[in-house]
Structure 1
Amino acid sequence: MTRYVIIGGDAAGMSAAMQIVRRGPDDAKITTLERGSIYSYAQCGLPYVIEGSVAATDDLIARSTDTFRNKYGIDARVQHEVTDVNPEKQEVYGTNLQRNESFTIPYDQLLIATGVDPVVPSLPGTDLAGVHTLKTIPDLERLRSDLHGHREITIVGGGYVGLELAEAFVAQNFSVRIIERNRQLAKMFDADMVEHLHEEAEQQGIELLFGKTVTEVEADDRGRVNALIVDEERFSTDLVVFATGVKPNTSFLQATGVDLNKNGAINVDAYMNTNIENIYAAGDCALQYHRIKEKNDFLPLGTHANKQGRIAGTNMSGETKTFQGVVGTAIFRFIRFTAARTGLSEKEADALAIPADAVSYKGTDIAGYFTEKKPLHIKLVYHTDNKRLLGAQVIGESGADKRIDVVATALFHNMNIDEFEDLDLSYAPPYNGVWDPLQQAARRAK
């Protein structure tokens, strides 16, 4: 019997488990350990339950715990928190939170797929009623139940989750404020591109505070949040959501010898091996190889987690498959706009000391003579010396999604500006101009 233990019951962990079910030995014993109570749910869909596009949290669950147990024969455990791993004995230790009992489970092969936890600043008052984070379905349920009877919501953090939540709250007619310590929203975009999002936020009545730091969460006489102290200035609020980033859930590995990055993410090779024999890692708790940066990076996204989990499970089953890396593609919707990016931004290229130039172009999503055309703002970043395409950012009301995927494909295959201009892209007036705006930007880069 081959004993497989997987820590984590979401995207990476259960993608791996299903590969072992399908490809592994007949005598495989698969045990999965989930700290929470829900398996295989779509974390990225949580804001859209608030916004109204998703009817219920149950719609976000891909497979139930009972499905994994009864249909696939996986020993899928809930409320099992792992607290330590002994690589020499090949044992996993933890606590059954339902019974408040310790457990020990031996393994032949172990996958760490523990994901990430929200980062909450160490401030007075972050434990008050009315202060939230959003990472799990129980987080969402607590937040939704707390919305009733309140009006003013403050979001601390202007990244992906913060902006998606802002959109959701605006759709439900709440008054929204975003506090961001950087000088812009969406710091993964260059400042000149993100101005379009700033304008949209202001048009929707979202209050933006940039370059500001929350120093205290203030309570009313009932012990509920009623204000934030921001650089000595007081801002009243009914509810606060901290969307200030995430950290890998790997603290239990500190004494194991597993190689961790400075932020706690696990270093892995292309086969999802860690530096310790028979221990694999995948998903948000692990690093991903960035094909443009040519080094491991920390980009916790569901697409990467599913791919890495699938590859880990394949290799744990005895077959061989490698992770081909990422190019940094991401996309989100913000009110009327879609904001998409891939590869390197101009500021990232500068930070990496890569000689780069950039070109910006304002086109339209369809043929320019259509009355319903929408502006499409494009920025291409390319290597100064060899004209290799390095990245792109696209923001617009329509058409940004398909353009960014074209650039992501080009980046994956190391195309330069000349080759990019020669791509045979689809054209008909309701869908595009005779020259795609991406290619028009590339021509200006030349």
Structure 2
Amino acid sequence: MGKRFIIIGGDAAGMSAATQIRRLKPDAEILAFEKGSTLSYAQCGLPYYIAGVVPEAKDLVARTPEQFREKYGIQVFIRHEVIKIDADERRVTVRALDEGSEEKFSYDTLLIATGGHAIFPNWEGRELNGVFPLKDIEDSYRIKKWLQAEMVEKVVIIGGGYIGLEMAEAFHLLKKEVTVLDLAPQLAGTFDPEMALLAKEELERNGIKVALEEEVTSFRGERGRVIGVETKRGFYPADLVLVAIGILPNSELAKEAGIELGIKGAIRVNERMETSMPGIYAAGDCATQYHRIKEQEDYIPLGTTANKQGRVAGTNMGGGEARFAGVVGSAIMKVLDMAMGRTGLSEKEAKGLGIPYEIVSIRSRDHAHYYPHAERLHLKLLYHRENRKLLGAQVVGRHGVDKRIDVLATALYHGMTIDQLQELDLSYAPPFNSVWDPVQQASTVARKI
């Protein structure tokens, strides 16, 4: 038997690493411990499962424990929580949650892929039935069960970020009366205000209420179930409340083991995904990421990043050589009939970093204006005032957002200037584009500036 590798966490990063180790180390002993009941599933698909767009929860599961065992020879333990890491002795203590028993396992190399947890403030009444976070598949089961068993007419969502807005659509599709509350003066906080306003208008156009600068103080209940949300300015009736105000890394285990933490308490890793402790790696929502534009560590927990970091960690753990190239902050979300994409820096981030920048904003069309059903496309680009390098981009519209934001993310990755966007050889036919892509149209405007 070869070396023993232990993986803490059985979702994107953990199981990506485990399968990569197996490819490189056919004789390795690989143990994966997951405290939940499901492995390797698509967390980003949970809103669509709740909405009924994805019919079954099993559709979100990439591989079952049996498949990992039979195809990859990975020993998988579900409902097993690692409660302690002893870095000096190179062993972990594992609790079997169903039996309550504990056992110690030694390791040669360890990966911490414990993910993150939903922020759930200690508001009065948070224990009431009908109040939910949404971070894992078990949360989605509880929400679905409540929707099926109770008379739910009014839903209040606290938080207007990615999950909050996607769930606003989910509940809207389920014919619920939806209200979105946010402490900030805008929705979609990673976007600039004028772009975020388009999301608010899309919600309200579809009958979803939005209340900004609302500070939640408590939940009101009757007979053990929620009946509404109290804020400093009012009361919002609700049969179901979703708290979606962000996530934080599950890094307590690493901290207790003496491993160095970074921004927002995430486990600090280098480009090989190594922690400050020899023989211990970290990846996914519990770990930091290097931001290529900010040129510093950041914490932007996304499924794409978790999979990449897991693969890099697994390659290095298995004796290969891999580097995590970093992120540029690319993300996209669907808000009813509209898409919102962003990459790089927002104005707020550029100001915070003291970067001198210029802006170009245009309204264009997703394809040739004379071809039927051309839709409005809003683009905003940030570029460096002195060297004219692209710094960030935001695109909002009904069609073609994903195409443009990915082109801009690629341009950011390669350090292109805003003027070089005009040189790109982009595809064109009237049903798909204009002769000059909207990205290049914005570049032309920037040249005139």
The two structures share one fold, judged by TM-score above 0.5 = yes
Residue identity opposite 1:28 in structure 2: A
Residue identity opposite 1:191 in structure 2: P
Superposition map of 1:125-204 within 5 A: 125-148=125-148, 149-204=151-206
CA distance, structure 1, for counterparts of residue 83 and residue 412 of structure 2: 40
Superposition map of 1:10-49 within 5 A: 10-24=11-25, 26-49=26-49
Task: Give the structure 2 partner of residue 387 of structure 1.
Answer: 388
CA distance, structure 1, for counterparts of residue 233 and residue 413 of structure 2: 47
**Structure 1: tracts of 5 or more residues without a match:** none
Asked if structure 2 preserves the Cα contact closer than 8 Å seen for 1:85 and 1:91, the reply is yes
Asked if structure 2 preserves the Cα contact closer than 8 Å seen for 1:287 and 1:296, the reply is yes
**TM-score scaled by structure 2?**
0.97
Task: Give the structure 2 partner of residue 411 of structure 1.
Answer: 412
Q: Provide Cα deviations, 1:376-407, integer angstroms capped at 9, x if missing partner.
A: 00000000001000110000000000000000
Task: Give the structure 2 partner of residue 297 of structure 1.
Answer: 298
Asked if structure 2 preserves the Cα contact closer than 8 Å seen for 1:6 and 1:113, the reply is yes
Q: Using the TM superposition, give the Cα deviation of residue 179 of structure 1 relative to its aligned residue in structure 2, in angstroms.
A: 0.7
Task: Give the structure 2 partner of residue 212 of structure 1.
Answer: 214
User: Does 2:67 correspond to 1:67?
Assistant: yes
Paired residue secondary structure (1:263): helix
Q: Using the TM superposition, give the Cα deviation of residue 262 of structure 1 relative to its aligned residue in structure 2, in angstroms.
A: 4.5
Residue identity opposite 2:190 in structure 1: M
Q: Provide Cα deviations, 1:60-98, integer angstroms capped at 9, x if missing partner.
A: 000001111122211100111111111110111131101
Task: Give the structure 2 partner of residue 371 of structure 1.
Answer: 372
Task: Give the structure 1 partner of residue 100 of structure 2.
Answer: 100
CA distance, structure 1, for counterparts of residue 210 and residue 235 of structure 2: 15
Q: Using the TM superposition, give the Cα deviation of residue 368 of structure 1 relative to its aligned residue in structure 2, in angstroms.
A: 1.3
Q: Provide Cα deviations, 1:210-232, integer angstroms capped at 9, x if missing partner.
A: 11111011111x11000111015
Residue identity opposite 1:213 in structure 2: E
User: Does 2:247 correspond to 1:246?
Assistant: yes
Count of equivalent residues:
444
CA distance, structure 2, for counterparts of residue 264 and residue 106 of structure 1: 26
**Structure 2: tracts of 5 or more residues without a match:** none
Residue identity opposite 2:29 in structure 1: K
Task: Give the structure 1 partner of residue 354 of structure 2.
Answer: 353
Asked if structure 2 preserves the Cα contact closer than 8 Å seen for 1:153 and 1:175, the reply is yes
Paired residue secondary structure (1:271): coil
Superposition map of 1:314-329 within 5 A: 314-329=315-330
Q: Using the TM superposition, give the Cα deviation of residue 255 of structure 1 relative to its aligned residue in structure 2, in angstroms.
A: 2.5
CA distance, structure 2, for counterparts of residue 233 and residue 359 of structure 1: 39
Q: Provide Cα deviations, 1:229-277, integer angstroms capped at 9, x if missing partner.
A: 1015222111100001111111122222211125220111111101110
**TM-score scaled by structure 1?**
0.98
CA distance, structure 1, for counterparts of residue 197 and residue 349 of structure 2: 18
Residue identity opposite 1:405 in structure 2: D
Deviates more, 1:327-336 or 1:45-54: 45-54
CA distance, structure 2, for counterparts of residue 70 and residue 336 of structure 1: 42
Residue identity opposite 1:218 in structure 2: R
CA distance, structure 1, for counterparts of residue 276 and residue 384 of structure 2: 34
Deviates more, 1:227-236 or 1:182-191: 227-236
Paired residue secondary structure (2:45): helix
Q: Using the TM superposition, give the Cα deviation of residue 51 of structure 1 relative to its aligned residue in structure 2, in angstroms.
A: 2.2
CA distance, structure 2, for counterparts of residue 296 and residue 103 of structure 1: 36
Paired residue secondary structure (1:285): coil
CA distance, structure 2, for counterparts of residue 291 and residue 278 of structure 1: 26
Task: Give the structure 2 partner of residue 421 of structure 1.
Answer: 422
Asked if structure 1 preserves the Cα contact closer than 8 Å seen for 2:190 and 2:346, the reply is yes
Residue identity opposite 2:249 in structure 1: P
**Identical aligned pairs, as a percentage?**
48
CA distance, structure 2, for counterparts of residue 346 and residue 229 of structure 1: 33
Asked if structure 2 preserves the Cα contact closer than 8 Å seen for 1:184 and 1:191, the reply is yes
CA distance, structure 2, for counterparts of residue 95 and residue 417 of structure 1: 54
Task: Give the structure 1 partner of residue 286 of structure 2.
Answer: 285
Paired residue secondary structure (1:439): helix
User: Does 2:336 correspond to 1:335?
Assistant: yes
CA distance, structure 2, for counterparts of residue 289 and residue 254 of structure 1: 20
